[in-house]
């Protein structure tokens, strides 16, 4: 299978077969745990994919480097790991002229993009999507300056909260470490001014948090907004103007979708495909759980830029 994903003639819903694949996994994870995970999936993957290469990361940036250096040589890249590994792989694949398909075997704490794609969190079931049960489908990737994200971009409270996470408690308590950190952050929210130019319109205001959502899952919780779709060529922008426990509780506990338009005094919501964000001073930015900083960002949706392996039936 030598044809690149960008030129592929495969239609959505058709099961893809792969002649070659590269499986990237986190070498900093505990060796016993890695060996246990690999033992469950390597056999079935090897039987299905004639040329399967395993690459172990040793330091930050390795996964992105592997994808950029070897991505055009294979039909499929498999990320075995958490949100950090997935983020690096997306940043390695997105700039390529010939982009391979991409698959996630989630092995992290939150696994947000995997959740947004409804990929099983069970290791064997996620691997089975590649060998027998999944399909390829295009998803939007969003470029922010020179970086890319698949799930979300955020600044303000969300970036402060994720920066404050204690890594030991994250390992012990998983998703709840995000919420504990966020609650601590809410006690002293910092407002900042901003300008957003989007699809020919301008918004100037102050906020405690800006969120740009491509996927629905943040901190292992589904964001209750039905307009968020991974393949519509749009992102959802949330301008959160006030912080408080009622707002936080509503977001993380909502069981049904929420009509944010009724509360513009607290949260403003709109969609766009091209956005320019300006902040007076450098601000911490969270891209899919990874931290950057800056004060000016050009953000563009690349519609269906990467094809991913996902379940056949996705319930919206």
Query: Catalytic amino acids?
Result: 290
Asked if 79 contacts 49 with a C-beta cutoff of 8 angstroms, the reply is no
For 2, 70, 102, the CA distances from 16, given in Å and listed in that order, are: 13, 20, 12
Ramachandran sector of residue 233 (left: φ over 0; alpha: ψ -120 to 50; beta: rest)? left
Query: Helical H runs in 26-166?
Result: 31-48, 62-70, 83-93, 112-116, 123-128, 157-163
Task: List phi, psi (to 5°) of 254.
Answer: -60, 130
Residue 66, helix vs strand vs coil: helix
| Residue closest to 47 by CA, chosen among 113, 170, 131 | 131
| Residue closest to 76 by CA, chosen among 152, 125, 129, 27 | 129
Q: What does the alpha-carbon distance between residue 206 and residue 226 come to, in Å, rounded to a whole number?
A: 26
Angle at 232 between CA 92 and CA 309, to 5 degrees: 50
Query: Helical H runs in 151-256?
Result: 157-163, 167-173, 176-186, 245-253
Asked if 287 contacts 90 with a C-beta cutoff of 8 angstroms, the reply is no
């Amino acid at each position: 299978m030598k044809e690149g994903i960008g030129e592929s003639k495969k239609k959505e819903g058709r099961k893809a077969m792969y002649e070659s694949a590269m499986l990237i996994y986190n070498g900093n994870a505990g060796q016993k745990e890695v060996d246990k995970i690999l033992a469950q999936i390597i056999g079935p993957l090897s039987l299905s994919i004639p040329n399967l290469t395993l690459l172990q990361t040793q330091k930050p940036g390795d996964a992105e480097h592997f994808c950029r250096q070897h991505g055009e040589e294979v039909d499929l890249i498999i990320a075995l790991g958490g949100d950090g590994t997935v983020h690096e792989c997306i940043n390695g694949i997105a700039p390529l002229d010939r982009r391979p398909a991409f698959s996630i075997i989630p092995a992290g704490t939150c696994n947000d993009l995997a959740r947004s794609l409804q990929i099983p969190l069970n290791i064997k079931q996620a691997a089975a999507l590649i060998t027998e049960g999944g399909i390829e489908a295009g998803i939007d990737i969003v470029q922010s300056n020179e970086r890319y994200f698949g799930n979300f971009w955020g600044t303000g409270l969300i970036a402060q909260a994720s920066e404050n996470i204690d890594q030991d408690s994250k390992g012990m308590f998983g998703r709840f470490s995000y919420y504990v950190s966020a609650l601590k952050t809410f006690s002293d929210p910092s407002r900042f001014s901003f300008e957003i130019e989007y699809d020919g319109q301008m918004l100037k205001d102050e906020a405690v948090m800006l969120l740009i959502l491509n996927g629905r899952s943040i901190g292992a919780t589904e964001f209750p907004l039905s307009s968020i779709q991974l393949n519509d060529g749009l992102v959802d922008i949330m301008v959160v103007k006030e912080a408080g426990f009622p707002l936080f509780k509503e977001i993380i506990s909502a069981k049904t979708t929420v009509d944010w338009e009724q509360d513009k005094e607290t949260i403003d919501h709109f969609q766009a495909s091209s956005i320019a964000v300006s902040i007076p001073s450098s601000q911490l930015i969270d891209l899919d759980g990874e931290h950057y900083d800056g004060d000016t960002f050009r953000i563009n949706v690349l519609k269906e830029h990467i094809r991913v392996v996902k379940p056949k039936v996705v319930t919206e």
